[in-house]
Amino acid sequence: MTAFRAALVEELAHLWRDRFDLALLTLVPLVCLVVMGGMMARGSPRGLGVVIVDQDRSTASRAIVRAVGSVDALSVIDSVSTLSEAFAAIRRERAVAVVVLPRGLGSARRAATPPTVEIFYQTAFLSTGALTSALLQATITAELARQAPSQSGLAGVALLRVPLPGVEVTLLGNASANLEWYLGLLIGPAVLHLLIAVTAAASLGRELIDGSLGGWAARVGSPVLAVAGRLVPHVAIGTAWLCLWLVWLTLGQGFAFTGAIGLVAIGGLLLFVASAAIAALLILLTGEVATSLSASVIYAGSALAYSGASLPITGGLAFARIWSAILPLTHYVTLEMDQAIGVDLAVWAKQAAILLLAAVVASGGAALLLRRQARRAA
Amino acid sequence: MTFRHAFESALLEILRTRDLVAVAVVSVLFYAFYYPAPYAHQVVERLPIAVVDADRSVLSRAIIRNLQAAQEVEIAADAPDMLAARALVRSRQVEGILLIPHDVGASVAKGRPGAGIAVWLNGAYLLRAEAVGKTIATAIGATLEARTSGLATPGLAPVVTRPLFNTTEGYRDYIFPAVANIILQQTLLFAAARFVAERRRTGRWQLQRRTGLGVWAACATIGTLSALFYFGLIYWLQDIPHGGNIPALLLTVPLFAATVAAAALMVGSMVRSGDDALKLLIPTSIPFVFLSGFAWPLVAMPGWVQAIAWTIPATPAMHIFIPLNQMGASLGEVRGALAILVVQLAVFGSVAGYRLTRRARVRSAPVGP
């Protein structure tokens, strides 16, 4: 174990001496996580701009405008007379949606075919647009139903996040449909995954001489143990930051895993072990820090896109499905989201085993290359 | 060294140095296809759900039949009761449950909202849960409406939603144009900051102002060509909403590239080596994506976070290029973001110019590892 311990001590001493490398593992994640946490700390988005085109100007239409204005997340920013003015507000990004209250709305109950209330919403920023349109639809439907008390069946329509004709939708693991909980579970791990991929590769990269770790491997004796010792601080620091992030989300912001947070932390540890092993493999394969770092951005920087967390990868291109299944972050995210809703232990174990397998395969490959480079150098 | 000489030599060095061309050119080409790939299918497809049909009537079968026709969901299991359905969720064989209660027909006749039908969805994946919830609701709504036509809601004004710009509500058309700005910014930042830092580390950085301007112009040229390649060819090839206001794009793209190049020169003047530039800049990629406000809207961020977000070139870029490309906005409609980009250019340019031409500072700068 001396090679392991010597490498560990040497890396810690280096981090102590080199304030830049130390900052990458301390200040950089601190700033990234504080800014990301601060970004979402208000809970669900608020102040989503709505422009009203009120063609009716009746008691009924004014009641709808009041109802929209009373929703926390929405803010009526303007009332204009034409659609083109309203759309300009969307293009200027002052508004997310436009509500058109048609002529005859107030006397709709007497009409054979009542006029249609239209909600135009921008979808270039889909998450904001979809949220706004869903809130508007629910609010306006409820207000219209309230105005028609004779329709007792609909008078009781609850203000649902996803507006349904009364069908009750329950979101498991995220009952309040909270965007902060959803994004928080994705952003923190993705940021740290990329960070540790970078610092681990850069750390080993310091020992490259003419594109080879052979010289260093020959010097340290047991190179595989030395690599492990070298990368342990990165894995430990990554895991510690992830745990802090999970504590912030749960204890700080009040969200809860239906499953066990400890199982998520173990998954995080496995993710960082896999990240470090892949970093070692990349350094040994490329023999260059810059190329290894570029490869890290490609695999870890875009891993969230391939994790299927926003759009499920089923039904996607074959390449995307295969690559998604290979990337460790996919399995970490699955494992974490599974704990959000609470799943059987066997389901957790499967994802954990895949993460472990990724770590074993990458470190096996790295060990083979390292031994070969050491032999050549000797 | 003349401006032209500095410009040409920087351009050639970036194109001839393997790790610079890899980031500045090859990565840009690569990401144009790699990043949109997982979103190519655009919408949720075949999400497995379990059905608990406690009614087993003509109506309940009609609801299930209608649901089967929706491409977003797939009826993966017919569970005998809620206990069995919940077990399927716990073992992750299904993503949701649809419960049709006993005597649903009577509830419909009474006009009970939703007729007691209930849906449980895996809300951990919020975005897809909302999309699927909407689909299921529409399918059920359509079935119930067909059954109750004549009875239901006479005189109640219907409320319809109409998506603007990305009318299919496709994920690729939403995510890629937003992330493209980050890809363009980060690839140029990585390459240009590394280039400057390496020239300084190896003592090849010259202190004349025109050399600095030449390097800056070379980097801005590469950035401009990359952005035009994305907005012109790639958006067209991938059929992403594009070309809303081409004259305004031709005006704003060089401004964005010049701002990013100035920021890169600034970072390059502050780090010890090209590797350090990459180590510092790469981990910022994911926070920068989210700070630009594509998933969590900028207006909903606290003031101090917004202030940080607006110091990143990709933030104004996103709020210029998405309106120009996707929404067909006019230059006047994006003037706020445009003004911020100009301020950024002035600040980054001044700091970079000051640091890179100051003699004493460069002499005493650490030479790196």
A93-122: pLDDT as tens digits:
889 999 998 888 877 666 667 788 889 998
Q: What is the mean predicted confidence (pLDDT) over B233-245?
A: 85
Among candidates A183, A184, A176, A181, which has minimal Cα distance to A160?
A: A176
**Which segments of chain A does DSSP mark as H helices, in order?**
2-17, 19-25, 27-40, 59-69, 83-91, 126-147, 152-155, 179-205, 214-220, 223-247, 261-286, 289-296, 303-306, 318-326, 328-341, 345-377
Q: Per-residue pLDDT averaged across B29-37, rounded?
A: 88
Share of chain B above pLDDT 70, in %: 92
Dihedral over Cα of A122, A123, A126, A132: its sign: positive
Same domain, A139 and A210: no
Nearest CA in chain A to B333: A92
**Is A298 among the domain residues?**
yes
- On whether both A27 and A69 belong to a single domain, the answer is no
* 3-state DSSP assignment of residue B226: helix
CATH architecture for residues B47-148: 3-Layer(aba) Sandwich (3.40)
Structure tokens at B369: 């590892």
Residue A170 falls inside a structural domain? no
Please count the residues of chain B.
369
| Residue A294 contacts B where some CB pair is shorter than 8 Å | yes
- Site from B282, B289, B335, B367 to mutate, A interface, most A CB atoms within 10 angstroms: B282
Q: What is the CATH number of the domain that holds A100?
A: 3.40.1710.10
Nearest CB to B119: which of A35, A157, A169? Answer: A169
Q: Does residue A280 have a pLDDT over 90?
A: yes
Within 13 A of A49's CA, how many CA atoms are on the CB side?
Answer: 19
Same domain, A112 and A220: no
> B307 and chain A: CB distance < 8 Å anywhere?
no
Give the CA distances from residue A96 to residues A281, B164, B324, in Å, rounded to whole numbers and listed in that order.
Answer: 46, 10, 16
Q: Considering only CA atoms, which of B119, B352, B115 is closest in space to residue B219?
A: B352
Residue A314 belongs to a domain: yes
Nearest chain A residue to B297 by CA distance is A128
A242 and A292, same domain (yes or no): yes
B5 in reach of chain A (CB within 8 A): no
When comparing pLDDT for A269 and A165, which is higher? A269
Same domain, A116 and A52: yes
Measured between beta carbons, which residues in chain B are less than 8 angstroms from residue A28?
A: 280, 283
Q: In this complex, do B327 and A338 lie within 8 Å of one another by their Cβ atoms?
A: no
Residue A96 forms part of a structural domain: yes
Alpha helices in B155-245 (DSSP H): 171-201, 209-228, 235-237
Q: Determine the Cα–Cα distance for residues B182 and B178; give it in Å rounded to an integer.
A: 7
Which chain B residue has the Cα nearest residue A339? Answer: B124
The reply to whether residue B163 touches residue A123, judged by beta carbons under 8 angstroms, is: yes
| Interchain CB distance below 8 Å, B290 and A90 | no
- More reliable by pLDDT, B258 or A46: B258
**A160 occurs within a structural domain:** no
For A102: left if phi > 0, alpha if psi spans -120 to 50, otherwise beta; the answer is beta
For residues A73 and A210, membership in a common domain is answered with no
What are the residue ranges spanned by the domains of chain B? Answer: 3-39+170-364, 47-148
Q: Does B81 touch chain A (CB under 8 A)?
A: no
- For B256, phi and psi rounded to 5 degrees? -60, -50
With contacts defined as CB-CB under 8 Å, which chain A residues touch B327? 90-91, 122, 124
DSSP state, B283? G
Q: Is residue A168 part of a domain?
A: no
pLDDT of the residue at A264:
96
**B130–chain A Cβ distance below 8 A for any pair:** yes
Q: What percent of chain B stands above pLDDT 90?
A: 38
Closest CA to B24 of B180, B188, B186: B188
Please tell me the predicted confidence (pLDDT) of residue A299: 92
Q: Is A360 on the interface with B (CB under 8 A)?
A: no
Task: Mark yes or no for CB contact A167/B137 under 8 Å.
Answer: yes
Q: Which of A90, A296, A315 sits opposite B41 (nearest CB)?
A: A315
Flag whether residue B351 sits within 8 Å of chain A, measured between CB atoms. no
**Any chain A CB within 8 A of the CB of B74?**
no
Task: For chain A, say whether B121 makes contact (Cβ under 8 Å).
Answer: yes
pLDDT score at A157 = 39
B83 at A interface, C-beta within 8 A: no
By the CB < 8 Å criterion, does B366 face chain A? no
The DSSP letter of residue A110 is G
User: Mean pLDDT in chain A?
Assistant: 87
Residue of A36, A171, A258, A296 to mutate when probing chain B, most B C-beta within 10 A: A171
Banded pLDDT at A179 (limits 50, 70, 90): confident
pLDDT at residue B155 in the model: 52
Q: Any CB–CB contact under 8 A between A211 and chain B?
A: no
Quote the tokens at residue A3: 């090679």
Q: Are residues A26 and A55 in the same domain?
A: no
Q: Do A116 and B158 touch (CB under 8 A)?
A: yes
Nearest-Cα distance to chain A for B59, in Å, is 15
Calculate the CA B305 to chain-centre distance. Answer: 18
ipTM of the complex: 0.89
Same domain, A96 and A25: no
Interface check for B93 against chain A (CB to CB < 8 A): the answer is no
Say how many domains are in chain A.
2
Same domain, A227 and A303: yes
* pLDDT tens for each residue of B40-49: 888 887 888 9
Answer yes or no: is A164 within a domain: no
Q: What is the residue whose two structure tokens read 């070309």?
A: B243
- Closest-CA residue of chain A to B244: A91
Residue A242 structural domain: 2-41+178-377
- Among residues B257, B256, B180, B249, which one has the least CA distance to residue B222? B257
Q: How far is B6 from chain A (nearest CA, A)?
A: 24
In a domain, A169, yes or no: no
A319, A356: one domain: yes
The three-state secondary structure class of A216 is helix
Residues A296 and A352 in one domain: yes
pLDDT of residue B156: 64
Helices A223-247 and A261-286, interaxial angle, to 10°?
A: 140
Residues A186 and A315 grouped into a single domain: yes
**Stretch A172-200: mean pLDDT:** 91
- Which position has the higher pLDDT, A308 or A190? A190
**Is A71 in the B-facing interface, judged by CB distances under 8 Å?**
no
| Chain-chain contact of A90 with B167 (C-beta, under 8 angstroms) | no
A315: contact with B, CB 8 A cutoff: yes
